[in-house]
Homo-oligomer: A and B are copies of this chain.
Amino acid sequence: MTQTPRFAKRMDGITGSAIRELFKITARPGVISFGGGNPSPAALPDEIVADISRELVAGNGKVLLQYGMTEGLPALRESLVPYIEKEFGVKTTADQILPVTGSTQAFNLLMDAYTDPGDVILTEDPTFLGATQAMALHQLKIVPVECDDEGLKTDALEEAILKYHPRMLYTIPTFQNPTGVTMPLERRKKIAELAEKYDLLVAEDDPYRSLRYTGESLPTIKSFDKSGKVVLMGSFSKVISPGLRVAFMVCEPVLLRKCTICKQSDDLHTANLNQAIVDAYLRRDLLTPHIENISKNYRAQMEEMLSCLKNVRGIEHYTKPEGGLFIFCYLKEGVNATDMLMKAVEKGVAYVPGTYFYPNGGHENTLRLNFSNSDIPTIRRGMALLDECLK
């Protein structure tokens, strides 16, 4: 265009993910990356998906290649019912489930259907950057709520509810991104109670829960939801493949219908083949052994990184996750992890500065480490380099 055009107001101040830009700088050959949140290549079941894809398209291609329903592939909606009960502890029915194109889409649809510009949304502090960008594009007012090593502080949450009259809460209760921490049972119950008491919609984003390496599985917030105020979002990105873009949302039919209408205008429907691949994983009991298999490696990688962290000078505190993909670290007050990053990359190791995950910025002394995408020797080398850099 000859002159810089005017864009939609919702684009004001939106520049795209700073982290993605950062990756372009830090992605130098030979640099060990503890940035990113990718599954390990070893965890991606290419051989099985190759065979299943052919089988599904050869056997049912006239259906899978045709237009599908916005509501999702009927077979997948059915197979999600027992899966969601077993894995998320939520008794549901097919008409409360919407397969979506990644849980990013689920959250987007929820904001489309339920929020107006100017509405307040509460989040953990820090929280997932992709979610806050989506909130900003919906012109919501983001109010981060204080967290500790057990996640969202429910007393701070109630205060924020009373003060800001929020429309929604976005939370990642299990192996949170970026901190890796898990909210204990009582807090989960409490959030469901507060949601009912204050008519607050809770978006419970739970993509990591199956990647538990130690400790006992905890019920979802949704499992305590008596008044239909909790929307559960689950994903197959971390347990089968992110490249397939299949996730789901579970909520009351009235709200789900509104989200479905928004999805119709968004992408009409999630690609059928991709839904059918996930359906095959569920129906053939391929998912549980696959998760057990990848969890073995992830557990060893997490334990190795936690063990190395004891000896990294300059890190004052770090979270001790029981699963997921991330560990969050706190440097000395006054040390700037963003400033340190270029030095680290020169030494040969990269991470994500934690400040990006705080909706209001600050917390410059924090950083996020990913352990899923590096094998054990690489973790050892990378952590030694980090120690050299931060000491």
Contact = CB atoms under 8 A, between A and B. Distances in A.
Interface of A: 1-2, 4-5, 7-11, 14-17, 20, 38-39, 41, 44-47, 49-51, 53-58, 61-68, 70, 101-102, 104-105, 108, 111-116, 130, 133-134, 137, 227-229, 237, 240-245, 252, 254-255, 257-258, 260-262, 264-274
Contacts of A243: 63-68, 271-273
A35 B389 CA distance: 66
A4 B228 CA distance: 11
Give the number of copies in the complex: 2
Nearest to A270: B245
25 contacts: A1-B227, A1-B229, A11-B261, A11-B262, A16-B257, A16-B261, A20-B264, A38-B66, A39-B66, A50-B61, A53-B53, A65-B242, A65-B243, A66-B241, A101-B101, A101-B245, A104-B267, A108-B266, A133-B265, A137-B265, A243-B272, A244-B272, A245-B268, A271-B274, A274-B274
Contacts of A268: 102, 104, 130, 245
Given A1-B252, A254-B4, A265-B130, A49 B65 contact: yes
A267 B267 contact: yes
Contacts of A41: 62, 66
A53 B49 CA distance: 9
B39 A46 contact: no
A65 B266 contact: no
A357 to B, nearest CB: 16
A267 B101 contact: yes
A57 B49 contact: yes
Contacts of A227: 1-2
A244 B114 contact: no
